[in-house]
Copies of this chain bind each other. A is one copy, B any other.
Amino acid sequence: MKKKYMMIYEDVKRGILDQTYPVGAQIPDEKTMCEKFSCSRMTVKKAYDMLVMEGLIYRKQGQGSFVLSRDIERPEVEIKERELIGFTKATSGAGRSKVLRFQLIFATEKIAKALNIKPNDPVYDILRVRLIKDRPYVIEQTYMSPTVIPGVTKEVLEGSIYSYIEDELVLRIGAAQKITSADISNDIDHKELGLQDIEPVLVVEQIAFLDNGTPFEYSISRHRYDLFKFSVYSLRR
């Protein structure tokens, strides 16, 4: 049995995307939806609150729920920051990876802290370039603990680590902290991403967690500045 709130969420989302509810339109009030889906108000509210979090609608006491506009122009590769997905999914499977380095090292203080392990514990040290249609887009330094994620091979790294973790190891990925900044490109960026001296990179530092709270990946990604943008929707309070 499918979750009711998910059915309501999907029903309304579909209506927004296919313009059944155009921008600015009022969507059905809670009571009406309760009848349509024969459920209680709390269930409708849960579904609607998910749409609020996503920035698709806003709600106002005494007035109703309305479709929000979304208008900033879209870049070539857009990452929705609150959607946690691996590179392979972000690029709709059109991407592949070139492994530049794959070895075991002793964890530094910083890596150990990020992965919640001891300094000098073994960690995978992985450096990959991600390609879309054979054009380099991202250079990604990854550290993972072999205790948490065993059996990583070069073949796994050339595909999707996230698929390996979820499908092969049957672990569930839960969440991630990301910090975004800009940086001057270095020699490796010039060589691997084909950038000029004055062209910068967009840097994302990330710690990803399994759904049991264990950090499993600490990574630093350097993106071509002209091809990547990150979008996020913020709510006041």
A residues in contact (CB < 8 Å) with B: 24, 42, 53, 55, 58, 60, 63, 66, 68-73, 75, 78, 81-84, 110, 113-114, 116, 172-184, 197-202, 205, 207, 209, 211-213, 215, 223, 225, 228-236
In whole angstroms, how far apart are the Cα atoms of A178 and B79 in the complex? 12
A200, B178: Cβ atoms under 8 Å? no
Report the separation of the CA atoms of residues A66 and B212 in the bound assembly, to the nearest whole angstrom: 9
Cβ A175 vs Cβ B236 within 8 A: yes
How many whole Å from A134's CB to the nearest CB in chain B?
23
5 more CB-based (< 8 A) A-B contacts, given A58-B175, A72-B207, A180-B231 = A53-B53, A178-B234, A180-B180, A184-B199, A184-B225
* Bound complex: CA A70 to CA B213 (Å): 11
Please tell me if the beta carbons of B225 and A66 are within 8 angstroms of each other in the complex.
no
A sample of 29 cross-chain residue pairs with beta-carbon separation below 8 angstroms, ordered by A number, consists of A42-B42, A55-B175, A58-B174, A68-B175, A68-B213, A71-B114, A71-B116, A72-B205, A73-B110, A78-B179, A82-B232, A83-B234, A84-B234, A84-B235, A84-B236, A174-B236, A175-B233, A175-B235, A175-B236, A177-B233, A178-B232, A178-B233, A178-B234, A179-B232, A180-B230, A183-B225, A184-B198, A200-B200, A211-B236
Q: Is the CB of B211 within 8 A of A60?
A: yes
Known contacts A58-B211, A225-B183; is-contact A232 B68 (Cβ 8 Å): no
**In the complex, what residues of B have CB within 8 A of residue A73's CB?**
110
The complex places the Cα of A171 from the Cα of B185 at a distance, in Å, of 43
Output the residue of A24, A66, A180, A202 with the most chain B CB within 10 A.
Answer: A180
Question: Cα distance A58–B215 when bound, in Å?
Answer: 12
Known interface pairs A66-B213, A181-B230, A184-B200; A235-B82 also in contact (CB < 8 Å): yes
On chain B, the residues within 8 Å of A70 by CB distance are 177
